[in-house]
Amino acid sequence: MSEKLDGVRGYWDGKQMFTRGGVQLSPPTYFLEKFPPFAIDGELFSQRDQFADISSIVRAYQDKGWHKLKLYVFDVPDAEGNLFARLAQLKTYLAQNPSDYIEIIEQIPIESPQHIQQFLHQVEQLKGEGIVIRNPNAPYERKRSSQILKLKTALDEE
């Protein structure tokens, strides 16, 4: 499980960045400088409770603050193995090519149903949106997956 970040979905295909809907984004060169030559999927995010600011930065045609953002990666689509092995490929790449604008979202192994509830409560106390529960052995899917569950106590459009 991991925290669900309330940002803008960012999919890097190894050359360009897109939103979940396939709209090409135009991050500045400095932002993409150390991005890997392979696909990574994540959330463009700065801090909790800043969705409007994040969205305006990402959708602007000029650089309105990309330096405030990072791509928080939750999967490496074309890598082999389970979720942890896929993320390890990116970790290895970043060890040789550190980037100030890429961070791997910590994936926490679930110990019990109570552990899930405690983590959700902790995230919500910090004004986070909720959590994501994933089957770590499921392959990456380029669509909504039945192997991923978003868990939050507040009802919204999702």
Find how far residue 95's CA is from the centre of its chain. 19
Q: What is the DSSP string of 85-142?
A: HHHHHHHHHHHHS--TTEEEPPPPPP--HHHHHHHHHHHHHTT--EEEEE-TTSPP-S
Q: Which residues pair with 133 in a beta bridge?
A: 149
Distances (CA, A) of 6 to 37, 73, 98, 119: 26, 13, 24, 17
93: left (phi over 0), alpha (psi -120 to 50) or beta: alpha
Q: Which of 4, 64, 91, 127 is catalytic?
A: 4
For the question of residue 4 being annotated catalytic, the response is yes
- Among all residues, which ones are annotated catalytic? 4
